[in-house]
Amino acid sequence: MRELDSQVAVVTGGSRGIGRAIALELGRAGAAVAVVARSEDRARETADLLEGPGFALACDVADPDECKDLAAAVTERLGPIDVLVNNAGITRDNILVRLKDEDWDAVLETNLRGAFNTTRAVARGMMKRRSGRIINIASVVGLTGNRGQANYAASKAGLIGFTKSVAQELAARGVLVNAVAPGFIETDMTADLPEEARDALFERIPLGRFGTSQDIAGAVRFLTGPAAAYITGQVLVVDGGMVM
């Protein structure tokens, strides 16, 4: 018996990187997984790797109607949703004075509004069944801020406030809501960082290595499982000790 046997999980931004690792890890833990990305073809590249049941689904998390359809489609195909992982996220980095309106809006719409859209769409079902886990993938920069990432850091700080608020609202209904705040994880998102910036970051990581998507997937698996039954409203920082 695995800890997520007979459970249904939804992972947004599941086509690659951290989201893919989370989807596969929850699958290994026994869950049936709906892998969500804007493109169904790309989501399928992960869904095809799942060990157990699951499927790929196209949904832009920034679109509230698509998120309502998402919740209905998953419930119809796999059953009621037990676990939601809000992982979809984007960056549009620039220093404040060069940050365009559309860069601000795009990042807030996907990273923060997106989590609101999906969470609202699944919360009612979880509340009715008096059980559920929601994990929001934030970032350490939501705690510390970061030069050149005012939009991204604001979205992730917002996500942490959202996590704590929703955790308080849903606790009485048995729904646990937590955030994971990754540090520097090697994915497509961080691949373009200049060598100098990488070196400077590396110096700040006590564990002496960059993180992997699997490091985050392990933390998410913990927060979805029985060992985390008494944890809600928390931010689990997974960053090799960078921020203490």
Residues that bind ligand NAI (CB under 6 A): 12-13, 15-19, 37-38, 60-62, 87-90, 110, 114, 137, 139, 182, 184-185, 187-190
Distance of alpha carbon 110 from alpha carbon 90, whole angstroms: 7
| Residue 150 main-chain phi, psi, to 5 deg | -60, -40
Contacts of 150 (CB under 8 A, 6+ apart): 96, 99
How near is the Cβ of 230 to ligand NAI at its closest, in Å? 25
Element (H, E) at 57: strand 54-58
Nearer to ligand NAI, 24 or 88 (CB): 88
Contacts of 196 (CB under 8 A, 6+ apart): none
Q: Which of 36, 59, 142, 152 is catalytic?
A: 152
| Cα torsion 217, 222, 223, 226: sign | positive
Give me the sheet containing 54-58, strands edge to edge.
54-58, 32-37, 8-12, 83-86, 132-137, 175-182, 235-238
Q: Which residue has the tokens 């809600």?
A: 232
Nearer to ligand NAI, 172 or 191 (CB): 191
How near is the Cβ of 133 to ligand NAI at its closest, in Å? 17
230 is catalytic: no
Count of helices and strands (H, E) across the chain: 10, 7
Instruction: Please list the residues that pair with 175 across neighbouring strands.
Output: 132
Question: Which positions are catalytic?
Answer: 152
